[in-house]
Amino acid sequence: MPGETSTPSTPSPGTPRPSGPCVLLKHGEIFLKGRNRHRFTERLHGNLRHALRDIGGSTWIKSGQNVTVLGGEVSPDVLVEHARRVIGFNSVEPALRVPSAVADITKAAVDALAAARAERPGISFAVRVKRRDKSFEMTSSQFERFLGARVREALGALPVNLSHPDVRVSVEIDHEESYVSWTRHPGAGGLPVGSSGRALVLLSGGYDSPVAAYRAMRRGLHCDFVHFTGAPYTNAASVYKAYALARELNRYQPGGRLHVIALGHAQKQLAIAGAGRLQVVAQRRLMVRAASALAGRTRAEALVTGDSLGQVASQTLANMAAVDEAATLPVLRPLVGWEKQEIIDEARSIGTAEISVLPDEDCCKLLAPPRVSLRAGLTDLRSVEKRLDLDDLVDSLLRDVQIMYPGESDGETAPGADRPDGGPAPDRPGPAVCATAPSAAVSS
């Protein structure tokens, strides 16, 4: 059925010889893992299967040594597009799958270079061979020289450049089948999403927090999101942005949930309590308190923020320490040493920049003082907080949390993945179809 994936067994004697297009997915950091490498590989393949859902045709996945082979009744270009979003693969290479016979491999290599020369006359080439089947009749270096000679015989004196070729034909020889590739696309790299646990990302509408979320995913964290709005004193524009950002980020992981919390009344209470220049840091402390409590319901083991040291007044070292003191979980800051332009460039590359520039009403600017304290003291912050019932305030924030499911294309979700408490999935309305109508995917 469409979107279904399977891992075929090794062909038995008498089965048709392998042939046809496929995609080679080279593993990233997991090749460094030891005895538990198979667990990372299983997670990686699970994420790949999720990325292939609803792709429009049947697909298959075959596992090799530090490589995954992907194929099926789908265009290789479509397979490449989906596979490049899966974190954990270093490179994505369209290839031809041929029998492990000299004649078949040679023909594939010659045909590949003939096609490349037709598009770009005068190209140089090199051949690289990796021989996993040590019983193959030639060594890797011998077969490289053999293939190079056959190519020049067939196509004329095609220039050879072993250091910086225009086209590098790679041949990987296995026992039953071999793979010939000549095009490489960079993969996302990193560790498979979910292999390091779960995190809750404090997602605003700017450049920083979506990039921080993506960087956390690349370290193996499966991310859910929490967005704080200034409602009822601000409009819903920031929610639309957060939904669109979460939907874009969910292209890189199995669907993360978006939790929306209205912070406006609580911000006003902080202002009435006399926060003054401490207002921004005090409300960030309240955010991490609420996020820590929410993380307990979503089984998250850390919080993630888009803070960059010294970027704004609230992100001085002293103010970061003051915010951390209010959290009950580790607060991870993947961008702490990044410059703003680096963050913007990364946002463009992952597809969130165009969303982040859209106008909205940022809750952090609500009731913000003209000048923010650069070194908010814990004694002063606690004095303000003592004028409020923080436990009751956090409980009230979480009572009204809205849960959204950005990017889901159907009504099916893994058991226990929909409720903040990890319980059975509730009945839900159909998924939202656009970022301008997130309420269609909301449950309370």
Predicted confidence (pLDDT) per residue in 230-263, tens digit: 999 999 999 999 999 999 999 999 989 999 999 9
pLDDT digits (tens, 9 = 90+) for 66-120: 899 999 999 999 999 999 999 999 999 999 999 999 999 999 999 999 999 999 9
pLDDT at position 14 over 70: no
| 183 contact partners, CB below 8 Å, separation of at least 6 | 93, 94
Of the candidates 224, 225, 239, the residue with the CA atom closest to the CA atom of residue 435: 239
pLDDT at 6: 44
Q: How far is CA 224 from CA 84, 243, 403, in A?
A: 21, 12, 10
Percentage of residues in the chain with pLDDT exceeding 90?
75
Nearest alpha carbon to residue 327 among 195, 194, 202: 202
pLDDT at 280 over 50: yes
User: For helices 279-298 and 317-325, what crossing angle results, to 10°?
Assistant: 40
What is the overall mean pLDDT for the chain? 87
Mean pLDDT of the 332-343 span:
97
3-state secondary structure of 259: strand
Query: Which uninterrupted H or E stretch holds 64?
Result: strand 59-64
Write down how long the chain is.
444
Secondary structure of 195-230 in the HEC alphabet?
CCEEEEEECCCCCHHHHHHHHHHHECEEEEEEEEEC
What band does 420 get if pLDDT is binned at 50, 70 and 90?
Answer: very low
The pLDDT, as a whole number, for residue 10 is 38
How, if at all, do strands 303-304 and 197-202 pair?
A: parallel
pLDDT confidence of residue 31: 76
Distance CA 263, CA 367 (A): 12
Query: What would the two tokens of residue 159 be?
Result: 């220039």
What single-letter DSSP state applies at residue 160? B
Residue 421 has pLDDT above 60, yes or no: no
The more confidently predicted of residues 272 and 364 is: 272
pLDDT of residue 367: 74
For residue 146, the model assigns a pLDDT of: 97
pLDDT of residue 409: 56
pLDDT at 366: 72
User: For the residues 144-158, what does the mean pLDDT come to?
Assistant: 93
pTM of the predicted model over 0.75: yes
Question: Is 141:162 a contact under the CB 8 Å cutoff?
Answer: no
Residue 356 token pair = 């982040």
Q: What is the mean pLDDT of residues 176-198?
A: 95
Please name the amino acid found at residue 273: A
Mean pLDDT, to the nearest integer, of 157-163? 92
Q: Is the pLDDT of residue 438 over 90?
A: no
For residue 296, the surrounding DSSP H or E stretch is helix 279-298
Q: Flag whether pLDDT at 424 surpasses 60.
A: no
| Secondary structure (DSSP) of 103-150 | HHHHHHHHHHHHHHHHHSTT--EEEEEEES-TTSSS-HHHHHHHHHHH
Q: Give 370-381 pLDDT, tens digit per residue.
A: 788 888 889 999
Long-range interactions of 313-321: CB distance < 8 A, separation 24+: 313/280, 313/371, 313/372, 313/373, 313/374, 314/280, 314/281, 314/284, 314/364, 314/372, 316/374, 316/375, 318/374, 318/375, 318/376, 319/281, 319/284, 319/373, 319/374, 319/375, 319/376
Measure CA 167 to chain center.
30
Residue 162 has pLDDT above 90, yes or no: yes
Q: How confident is the model at residue 34 (pLDDT cuts 50, 70, 90)?
A: confident
Q: Is a pLDDT exceeding 90 seen at residue 410?
A: no
Q: Is 307 left (phi over 0), alpha (psi -120 to 50) or beta?
A: beta
Q: Cα separation of 442 and 284, whole Å?
A: 25
The pLDDT, as a whole number, for residue 7 is 41
Report pLDDT for 17: 52
User: How much is the pLDDT for 30?
Assistant: 86
pLDDT at residue 321, as a whole number: 95
Higher pLDDT, 343 or 413: 343
Integer angstrom CA distances of residue 396 from 102, 167, 324, 399: 71, 61, 22, 5
The span from the CA of 414 to the CA of 192, in Å, is 18
